[in-house]
Structure 1
Amino acid sequence: MKIFNVIFLGEAWSASQFLLFMVGFIIVMSVVITLISTGVDKSKEIAKNVKTKIEQKKQENVLNENIKMSIREYQDSKNSFQYFSDNRLLNIYDQFQSGLKKSNMEQLALEEELVKRKLINHSPMHEKLYAINKDIFK
């Protein structure tokens, strides 16, 4: 029987040594490839989570900005309405009732001023807010 030798990295290896080396090399490469693919999957998942968090933060910022604008509108309206005549306030209130005006925050401030002046006996917007808060914060 002829002895089979393989020259690998400058050394002569027998067939069994070379075969054992190749099996080990294949196993190591399989493990490395598996680890790389798992790492890629995890990095994709992390990137997806980061993207989701960024989108949530953007939506939160938009919501906060809308809230600030609504509060500003309410404060501006409330400050202005205290200087209006009763007739002017009732005229604006009629515009809200007929649907010509639609600003909830302005309507809230208007109703507060009308109740304060005893031109209306209650604020429908405050009743709506009370009902909403009651449902949300049970």
Structure 2
Amino acid sequence: MRKSLSTSENTFIFLLVLIISINVSWIITQELKYVRLSNNGLNYTGYLLNRSVLIPALYVVLFNLIYKSKSIAAALLFAFVFAGAELCLNGLARNYHIWTYAQWSYVYDAIFIGLTQIAVFLLHRLFRSSFRPEVKHS
């Protein structure tokens, strides 16, 4: 079994997804007005918890599973299952009127999730390569 990610790698992934999530949600909801948020305080709290805690924590779990998997097929399966789970969470949020889609759809959500997974994977690889030792023992 492969080793799970270190604490610094988990923190990096969490903060990276948090930054991406907050910035993209700000652009989508406040600037472009593609998604309308609820005015109810409890529903808005659910939106904030989803965006700021739940989604980044799920990405940390996803990348721990990806790096523990022994094959590329298993890693891709985890990524697709995660994307489906996140789409289901978005559907629940829409069902409970936490947000409503004005000019947005589940297809755009799926594209955003896929691009976020790819970006986090590539930036995590860059993060890992930046901490490799420069000097090798002879």
Question: Which of 1 and 2 has higher RCO (CA within 8 Å, sep 6+)?
Answer: 2
Return the index of the structure with the highest Cα Rg: 1
* TM-score between the two structures when normalised by the length of structure 2: 0.29
User: Structure 1 length normalisation: TM-score?
Assistant: 0.29
